[in-house]
Amino acid sequence: MSGLPSSRRTALRRHFCLGALALMSALTSARSVTITEAEHEGRAQFKVVTASATYFFDRAGGGFSRLIDRDGKDWISFRKEPLKEVPASAAAGFRGIPNSVFGKDNPDAGAGHPGFDQCESTLVGGDTIRTVSTSGRWTWSWRFTETNAVFTMEKAPAEVAWWFLYEGTIAGRWSPRTHYWGTDTGGPRHETTDSKRQLFEQWRWAYFGDDQSPRVLLMAQMEKDDLPDTLWFMGSTRAGLDAPDGMVVFGFGRGPGGKPQFRGAGQRFALGLVEGAVKDAAAHGQVAQTAKQWIQQAAKPSAARGPLRVHPTNPRFFTDGSANPDGSLRAVYLAGSHEWHSFQDHGHRLESGGEPPPVFDYGAFLNLLQTNGHNFTRLWRWELPKWTEGDTKTRQTEHSQPHPWRRAGPGLANDGKPKFDLTQFDVGYFERLRSRVRLAGERGIYVAVMLFECWGVQHVTNAWQYHPLAGPNNVNGIEADEDGDGWGLEVHTLRDTGMGRRTLALQEAYVRHVLGTLNDLDNVLYEIGNEGGKYSAAWQNHMVEFIHRSEAAMVKRHLAGITFHFSKSREQRGNNRMLFDSPADWVSPGNEPAAAGVNFSFNRNPSPEFQGKIVVADTDHLGWNVRRDHDWFWKQFCRGNHTWYLEWAYASPTEAVAARKGIGQTVAWSRKVNLAAMQPSTDAASTAYCLANPGREYLAYQPGRGSFTVDLRNSSATFSVAWFAPETEASQPGEAVRGGSVQSFTPPHDGPAVLHLKAKE
């Protein structure tokens, strides 16, 4: 491998800065929600405390029973008795949010409503509650922030309609004539409508307040629709508005005749208390800005769901457990960039010579991933505290920090710092690990955490001199270089010796601590080690199995992968068959002919045949510093491979622009098609690059120019046609075509093209 050009190394150094304030701000936000167990009306609850409100969530009901403001006023005020008597329950059991599932003959009726026993609710991570109906047909989640709670309907039977309701007490009381409200169509308004004069309009957002309250309750629908919404006030007696108690009834998707309007999954809503009364148009405008901010925030990638697992019916892809509108498991496609310095601070290939080493701007890197639509990255581990950089012109001495173990001494290691105590973990290392994984997850980005780094131990001449598991550098009497050759490759092997067993026990303790640190996070995958030669294969296989065994006793289970067994030594270089025969859940192969034959290689022409594992094609192992554009990523996608791009020229303003765009394009299109039902095909399109659900849906990539064909002989359906130009990112529809023959298509633009065909219902 050759070093980076000097101009790029200089530019790369300029891109490193502390960014500590931004990181601390993000961590403070991440810790602003606490969820504990509680009780209300004799029923088990989750109590969610945020800076703006306290929520009580009925675990078996699957909805909110209380929403308490800073003054102790309850904006829901659910009471168990009477539960369902008209109109008396307007003062008790009718109250709640979201009260979604309704219907006299519906066996799931009451799901989403406090007081009913139709659901099971669990904590996901530290800020999300996920609810599944006892029938298994419904799933929704609430994610809490400092300012609001966001509802997502994740699974819903297509044949059953539902709504999103707020039924409760504005500012903690029933006083219709002092209540007011407003929507995206105007406000504040003081109309009081009852059951005989229900108001039906279409709203994107609405707020509710009271003349004696210094705040309002804001609710917003994230996705725009043309369905009717409703508002009216329901008294607890036939006196209606003059009843002694009652509630407001506001419903997104509640139509005339009390008919639910929403069908299927995917809809999202947000609600929260907003400080400040709304007395005039100016105050209304301020609430409108808040509503717009919530909706805009929702347009950004949502937090990564999971943990991911291998899709049971299409094992080329992952699934997060959520459902497609037809109820089938959604397939998840991962693709993104990674960079050597994304976790530890170190000088690899920087020619910095700095001590302490440059600090990477992780926030800026996440911005780059998110801006380009990436949903996957690799969090690098670097095992060497000090080394001489052999792949740069000046061969500077470089450094790295932090490391998993405390440098507590006594005595000094070869790098002049206190020796490592391999029985004491460094708190800062694991806090950084957790925060970086979590911050990525909040942006919808999955992270493969690299547990070990083997390339440096193999190929850096003086690597072992400073390694923590070399005898002079720890206080525990560990010297993993048992043959004394000065390289220490044994550290990544299984050895049935006293020292080998002690070394493995320390490595397992470290891995177990990583698992415990990250187990509650949904966006985690594990990579055993980067580019360990074939000598490390049995050890890496053992570590995969160790992760599987360890997490079997934990709350969540995450997937573990192995990347290519690279070595500069041909004798030590592994092959892809070793990966596919391993216990890994996913693999990242090297550039050799795939098992399907010599006409295919993972770099230039990946095989369409399924090799038995999820494949992540990583440019790090397939020509790490070769220039790429959108073409490489589209070809990998259409052959069913997930992708990583090594940002080897991260600081360059032009080097990776096309590659980054291509990654984001494939991620976006993976969400537009029913990926779970699609397989790579070299026959469906004459271009040989096509994902196909025969007779139903096709996504074909034309890497060249000009017309091409798609074989539609197995369907008589009419297909919608859509074109996409990867070079310009322009989209346009085409004229619908009939199946029953091989159809020819001519792109409406010059250059590479993507064609999407979908059978009309």
Q: Specify the pLDDT at position 393.
A: 64
pLDDT in tens, 747-761: 999 999 999 999 987
Q: Percent of the chain, pLDDT > 70? A: 93
Q: State the average pLDDT over residues 491-500.
A: 97
Angle, helix 20-30 to helix 362-371, in steps of 10 degrees: 70
pLDDT in tens, 593-604: 545 445 778 888
φ/ψ bin of 444: left (φ > 0), alpha (ψ from -120 to 50), beta (otherwise): left
Q: State the average pLDDT over residues 349-371.
A: 84
Counting every residue written for the chain, the total comes to 761
Cβ-Cβ contacts under 8 Å for 226 (sequence gap 6 or more)? 202
- For the cut 90, the answer to whether the pLDDT of residue 334 exceeds it is yes
Q: State the average pLDDT over residues 670-688.
A: 96
18: confidence class by pLDDT, cuts 50, 70, 90: very low
Burial class (CB in 10 A: 0-12, 13-18, 19+), 14: exposed
Give the rounded distance of the alpha carbon of 168 from its chain centre. 34
Q: State the average pLDDT over residues 5-19.
A: 38
pLDDT in tens, 429-460: 999 999 999 999 999 999 999 999 999 899 89
Q: State the average pLDDT over residues 664-681.
A: 95
pLDDT in tens, 117-164: 999 998 865 678 989 999 988 999 998 988 999 999 988 888 899 999
391: confidence class by pLDDT, cuts 50, 70, 90: low
653: confidence class by pLDDT, cuts 50, 70, 90: low
- For the cut 50, the answer to whether the pLDDT of residue 735 exceeds it is yes
Q: Specify the pLDDT at position 730.
A: 85
CB-CB contact of 344 with 382 (8 Å): yes
Q: Specify the pLDDT at position 627.
A: 82
Q: Specify the pLDDT at position 104.
A: 79
β-bridge partners, 387? 398
| Contacts for 494-500: CB closer than 8 Å, 24+ residues apart | 494/538, 494/539, 494/542
Q: Specify the pLDDT at position 164.
A: 97
Vertex 614: Cα angle to 642 and 531 (nearest 5) = 80
CA dihedral 165→167→171→177, nearest 10 degrees, is 110
- For the cut 80, the answer to whether the pLDDT of residue 267 exceeds it is yes
Average pLDDT of the chain, as a whole number: 90
394: confidence class by pLDDT, cuts 50, 70, 90: low
The mean-pLDDT minimum among 260-264, 442-446, 622-626, 656-660 falls in 622-626
SS3 breakdown of the chain: % helix, strand, coil, rounded to 5? Answer: 20, 30, 50
Q: Both tokens of residue 104?
A: 């006299």
Burial class (CB in 10 A: 0-12, 13-18, 19+), 42: exposed
pTM for the complete prediction?
0.65
730-738 and 164-168 beta bridge pairing: unpaired
Q: Specify the pLDDT at position 395.
A: 74
Task: Please list the alpha-helical segments (H only) found in 347-410.
Answer: 362-371
Q: State the average pLDDT over residues 395-410.
A: 92
Q: State the average pLDDT over residues 515-542.
A: 96
Secondary structure element (H or E) that encloses residue 292, with its range: helix 281-299
| Pairwise pLDDT comparison (531 vs 19), residue with the higher score | 531
- For the cut 90, the answer to whether the pLDDT of residue 494 exceeds it is yes
pLDDT in tens, 30-81: 346 888 999 999 999 999 999 999 999 999 999 999 999 999 999 999 999 9
- For the cut 50, the answer to whether the pLDDT of residue 28 exceeds it is no
Give residue 117's identity as a one-letter amino acid code: D
pLDDT in tens, 276-288: 999 999 999 999 9
HSE-up (13 A, CA, CB side) for residue 174: 24
387: confidence class by pLDDT, cuts 50, 70, 90: confident
Q: Specify the pLDDT at position 656.
A: 87
Q: Specify the pLDDT at position 16.
A: 36
Q: Specify the pLDDT at position 295.
A: 87
> In angstroms, rounded to a whole number, what is the distance separating the alpha carbons of residues 381 and 40?
47
719: confidence class by pLDDT, cuts 50, 70, 90: very high
